[in-house]
Structure 1
Amino acid sequence: MEKVQYHCEKCGHQHFVSDQFQATGGNFAKIFDVQNKKFITVSCARCGFTELYKANTNNGWNVLDFLMG
């Protein structure tokens, strides 16, 4: 597998920080506070420019999130 090189679109820096977060999507999810949208963030370590990518979610975890409240 070939390693992908990162470079910031704004400043050209080659180091990044990655994280993820979940958010609600749609009225039903908002009413029951179900976070059914998952995103991956890639942020430049120098300037902080951040790219956002939609990630696949697992329906089992969505149900568990609903039940746990």
Structure 2
Amino acid sequence: MGEKGCIKCGSHDARTKEVAMTGTGLSKMFDIQHNQFIVVYCADCGYSEFYNKQSSAGSNILDLFFG
């Protein structure tokens, strides 16, 4: 893992979870595939960051989270 750790508490125990969020209006029905995110969160303090799943597909998300 990265050397810096969580920006809030310094922990190196981060986890990821995929989530989908709905927008408003018609996007609730038709745009769900464009609202998928990966949440990276610190298992110790709970600090979280959201990354667009499509934009971050080629990146190591934990590296982004730890800076």
**What is the TM-score when the length of structure 1 is the normalising length?**
0.61
Whether contact under 8 Å (1:39, 1:52) holds in the other structure is yes
Moved over 3 A (4+): none
Corresponding residue number in structure 1 for 2:53: 55
Number of matched residues? 53
Of structures 1 and 2, the larger Rg is shown by 1
Q: Which runs of 5+ in 2 are unaligned?
A: 56-67
Corresponding residue number in structure 2 for 1:7: 5
Aligned-pair RMSD on alpha carbons? 2.3
One-letter identity of the residue aligned with 2:42: C
Identity %: 30
1:25 to 23, 35, 43: 23
Whether contact under 8 Å (1:24, 1:33) holds in the other structure is no
Q: Which runs of 5+ in 1 are unaligned?
A: 58-69
- State the distance in 1 between where 2:54 and 2:24 align: 17
Deviation track 1:14-65 (CA, whole Å, cap 9, x = no partner) reads 11111010112342122x37523000011111111111111119xxxxxxxx
Whether contact under 8 Å (1:21, 1:38) holds in the other structure is yes
